Structure 1
Amino acid sequence: MSTATSPLKFSTSIAAMTLLSSLVVGGIGSAAAQSMPDGENGRYALSPVADGVIRLDTRTGAVSTCSNTGAGWACYSVPDERAALDAEIGRLQADNERAKTELEKLKADLAARDPVVTGKIEEALPKTDSLKKADPKLAEGERRIEIPLPSDRDVDRVMSFLEQAWRRLVEMANRMQKDVSGKI
């Protein structure tokens, strides 16, 4: 029993077969120059995936994803996380070695110094409360800030200003209400 395939799947499989055949033919031509290890059919092992194939180079271990673009097949190497991790581990180990060397230098410098305190101090250090405020000085105690209170005349002026502002606000609200009610 046969199943129908879409033209896209058919053209993808034809392109994959063309790629495989070109790799096989190219591999035969270069077989004389490079000897293949025992048990291998060729240099590359291909595995199909949803959007193309994954190519494994059996000699170097490099992995690439190959897909059919509009212009033809293109392969892109997959980043090797192991190499990045190994490089980071190497960098951290080198940093550790530098830090150990510097720590040993600092310890040697510290040991070479003369001790500042040779014996136990008999007197206790005075206790101070850092949160407690110091006693005010006499000159600071004499300073005063005086704020003059407004006179009755100033209070009357402010009250009249507020009354006028309130009246204007009420008049404006009444005018708006008349305009709105007249147009409805």
Structure 2
Amino acid sequence: MCPATSPSKFASSVAAAALLFWLGGIAAGAAQSMPATENGRYALSPVPDGVVRLDSRTGVVSTCSNSGAGWACYEVPDERAALDAEIGRLEADNEKLRAELAAREPTVTGKVEEALPKTDSLKKPEPKAAEGERKIEIPLPSDRDMDRMMSFLEQAWRRLVEMANRMQKDVTGKI
């Protein structure tokens, strides 16, 4: 288990690990002529809360710290390995679902490309000659309806003019 660390400590650990990888690549090119016993297996780099350790044989990066019981090293999680594992799991799920879908019986029975019957309920019937000549008539308002509308408009106009006069008096100060 990894002990809980602050984001700044984790960021500095990751930065140190990246630096070790870069330095390890330079050192590996120079140290190829030396035997493995002279080079050593681990490269250590100090960080504020302990040491970052790089295993030169496997490439595993670990953070080591001195707890009350002694030194303990914990492997830094490899994000690429976690991503590859998740991709593999999703691909397996996808294949399983495709196989289940292929094994299902078809839900539509009968011929799909079958022609519609001649009496299709969705198709509108063609208008007959007598119906095609009909026109839509809209009744006009009666005199009583026109009188009611005119009185409403007159009353609304009077109120609008009265409101404008009040506003003009308010602005000029002749209240």
Shorter-chain TM-score bucket reads: 0.3 to 0.5
Q: Which has the higher contact order (CA 8 A, sep 6+)?
A: 2
TM-score (norm 1): 0.41
TM superposition score normalised by structure 2 = 0.43
